Amino acid sequence: MVKIAICDDEIKIAHEIESAIRQMPFNDIETEVFLSGSELIEHYTSADRFHIVLLDIEMPSANGIETAMRIRKLDSNFILVFVTAYREYVYQVFESLPFRFLEKPLSYEKLFAVIKDALYYIEDTKSYFFFKKSATVHQLSTKEILYFEAANRKVKIYTANSEEVYYGRFKNVIGQLNPNYFLQIHTSYIVNMEYISSFSDKAVILTNHILLPVSLKYKENAHLGHLKFIERRCGEW
């Protein structure tokens, strides 16, 4: 079951979105409507999480950007789709890791395309990274991995809450990862682009404020790879 939250202070628009999603030819989808950011935040602190959140940016009290940042602290994995009539907001919200943007007034076709992409993404990221420690094979969900680091003959894997270390060749790591989400930025670093907050010529900053270096050797390809990732995220307006 995929759970979708729709948050918009205009009840007519919220229910139009819900009705459109229910007409789509997807199985096992459950929708719930919230009429304020505060209401959605309250739900997140006391109930089950959502797989997809469609969030209006322009709302009183807690606006969409503030709401997204607060629930992102509670759940790093939900798919965030911003709905807005104001294109200028697009460049203000990347720290909240949006998946797509939808422009009001919504069309069924564009909404359908975004929901379809989101459902594909959910399936596409159900993958694991396998590594061997002391003759035992371990696995980590790739969605949870922030970045990899080379440390002499060891590979370090960092998640939000843990660190794993195993003996292995760092050059073999990238071949096991989906290039749509993972990017080599340095001889010693591979990063999950889902967690990049900002990207410059010399470094990337992750959403947990960790800074990783970008080397000259990988700079051009890294910027191109990240740009393609952002284009996939934003979709077409």
CB-CB contact of 93 with 65 (8 Å): yes
Q: Is 184 helix (H, G, I), strand (E, B) or coil?
A: strand
Q: Are residues 113 and 30 in the same domain?
A: yes
Q: Are residues 81 and 37 in the same domain?
A: yes
Q: Are residues 102 and 20 in the same domain?
A: yes
Q: Are residues 140 and 27 in the same domain?
A: no
Q: In angstroms, rounded to a whole number, what is the distance separating the alpha carbons of residues 7 and 59?
A: 9
CATH number of the structural domain spanning residue 21: 3.40.50.2300
Sign of the C-alpha dihedral, residues 174, 175, 176, 181?
positive
Number of domains in the chain: 2
Last residue of a domain, one of 79, 100, 124: 124
pLDDT digits (tens, 9 = 90+) for 79-97: 999 888 755 555 556 667 7
Q: In the predicted model, what is the mean pLDDT of residues 18-38?
A: 94
Given a cut of 80, whether residue 68 has pLDDT beyond it is: yes
pLDDT digits (tens, 9 = 90+) for 149-182: 999 999 999 998 899 999 999 999 999 999 999 9
The pair of three-digit structure tokens given for residue 2, joined into one six-digit string? 């995929």
Q: Are residues 116 and 133 in the same domain?
A: no
- Can you name the residues that pair with 3 across neighbouring β-strands? 30
The mean pLDDT value of the chain amounts to 89
Strand order in the sheet with 182-186: 163-167, 154-159, 145-151, 189-192, 182-186
Domain extent, residue 95, equals: 2-124
Q: Are residues 117 and 139 in the same domain?
A: no
Q: Are residues 93 and 150 in the same domain?
A: no
Q: Are residues 46 and 136 in the same domain?
A: no
pLDDT band at 3 (very low <50, low <70, confident <90, very high): very high
Last residue of a domain, one of 77, 106, 124: 124
Pairing of strands 29-34, 98-103: unpaired
Last residue of a domain, one of 102, 124, 146: 124
Q: In the predicted model, what is the mean pLDDT of residues 192-199?
A: 91
